[in-house]
Every structure is written in C-alpha cells, then in structure tokens.
Amino acid sequence: MSDAAQPTAAEVRAAAEAVKAALDRHLEAVENRTGEDDPAVYDAFNALAAAAEAYDERLYDRYDEVTPFEIPGADDSLPPYAGPEQPNAVSVLIRRDYAVVESQRLLAQAQRIADLDPDAADRPENAPIVGASVHAALGVLFGEFEPDEIASRHKEFGLAEGDSTLWVSAADELPEPGEWLSAPFDQADPERVVCRFDVSSVFDEEDLVEDLEDLDEES
C-alpha cells in the first residue's frame, strides 16, 4: 500500500476508540440480557466484531501490526458467545490435518526413533518394529514428539500440512480428572468459544481471487 493510501495515526486511534466503545456496549448488553437469544446482545456482538476488524485493518495498514485476538464475524460458523463473562477455566481444542506424502521418509524416521529406545538393545539385531506399517510409524512419531514440534518439523517426517484450527473455550470450572477422557470432544460448545484461529490454504486462494478481481477492475 502506498503512503498516500495509508490511514493516518489519528484514524488508527479513532478505530481503537471505536473498539473500546463497542466493548462497553457489548458488556452492557450482556449484563442486561433478557434471554439466551436477546437481539441486543447479538447486535452488540456484531458491532464489536466489525469495530475490531476495522481497527485491525487500520493498524496493519499504518504500522504493519496486528491484534493478538480474533473475534468471529457474524457470517462465521460460530454462534454469538454465550459463556461466562469471567471464566474460571478454559479448554483448548486443537485439530491439525496432515497428508502422508512420503511414507518411506515417515517409516525411516519412525524406525530411527524406535532404534534409539533404550529397550531396543533387547531386540534381535536389525529387527524392525515399524516395518512397512504407516500406522505403527505414526504411533511412534506422535508418541515421541509434542504436537507443536511435529507441526514445525512435519516435512522431516514426510507429512504435508492440511487445515488446522484452535478453539479456546470458556468453562465455569475445571472438570474432574478423567471426566472427559472417554469422549474428549463431545462437550465442545460453540457458544462458549472465546476465540478461534484457523489456518487453511483456502484463505490464500480467496486472497488471490480478490487480488485478481482488483486487477481486472483496474484494467
């Protein structure tokens, strides 16, 4: 973006003040809600989302910075937030998809990890425990590394990234130990999601389409 098209510092400040005002209106609407589907809360939510998006855009255009939070828009799949205003606990739900694109690399890495196991000395010499099983290799890989490390090193393991999402969901209190282990995702309530962060190549494709449309309009 050219300097001439950038928002002024005053415009960025005004957008920030609009977010503060929208936050106050949203809190007031929540405090005075008349029911679960109070339209005032819904309208205040949408106004807050719009103000936050406008501020984020101006902040980026002016200072090349972004906000550390994301408020789902009105057209997103999540409904308006209806959880506690002051959560005493949070649940972090993460999904990351991978494609196995180099199975031989995956098998080799898994076998290397297995061979470093202290108990490997008790096995017959050169006896593979992974063999040609991608299923076993994935078990070894994800048993050895934290999910974040696999995400940062996925190419080393013959994997290609797909879509991913992270949901931060508010809770009234921390569940009892072992309470949800048998069905860890069944209690995910979209109305209690405080924020979510999605990564997908479709977003890049949408940006490319928009850029091409802009070029067409300018030509």
Task: Parse the chain into domains and list their residue ranges.
Answer: 1-81, 102-157
pTM for the predicted model, two decimal places? 0.54
Amino acid 3: pLDDT: 47
Amino acid 6: pLDDT: 82
Q: How many residues in the chain?
A: 219
The predicted-structure confidence for 112-132, as pLDDT tens digits, reads as follows 888 887 665 555 555 456 777
Question: Cα(194)–Cα(167) distance, rounded to whole angstroms?
Answer: 8
Residue % of the chain over a pLDDT of 70 = 80
Amino acid 76: pLDDT: 53
Question: If we measure between CA atoms, which residue out of 95, 104, 110 comes closest to residue 162?
Answer: 95
Amino acid 138: pLDDT: 93
| Strand partners for 52 | none
Mean of pLDDT values over 56-63? 87
Of residues 32 and 201, which shows the higher confidence score?
A: 32
- Does residue 200 sit in helix, strand or coil? coil
Taking the CA atoms of the chain, what radius of gyration do you get in angstroms?
24
Question: Cα(201)–Cα(198) distance, rounded to whole angstroms?
Answer: 10
Amino acid 1: pLDDT: 44
Average of per-residue pLDDT values in the chain: 81
Q: Give 73's pLDDT tier (boundaries 50, 70, 90).
A: very low
Amino acid 71: pLDDT: 56
- Does residue 205 sit in helix, strand or coil? helix
Does residue 16 register a pLDDT over 90?
Answer: yes
Mean of pLDDT values over 10-27? 92
Amino acid 52: pLDDT: 87
CB atoms within 10 A of CB 103: 12
Question: Cα(48)–Cα(60) distance, rounded to whole angstroms?
Answer: 18
Does residue 98 register a pLDDT over 80?
Answer: yes
The predicted-structure confidence for 209-218, as pLDDT tens digits, reads as follows 455 555 555 5
Question: Cα(46)–Cα(42) distance, rounded to whole angstroms?
Answer: 6
- Does residue 112 sit in helix, strand or coil? helix
Q: Concatenate the DSSP letters of all residues of 47-93 into one string.
A: HHHHHHHHHHHHHHHHHS---S--PPPTTSSSPPP-S-SS-SEEEEE
Q: Give 42's pLDDT tier (boundaries 50, 70, 90).
A: confident
Question: Cα(211)–Cα(173) distance, rounded to whole angstroms?
Answer: 46
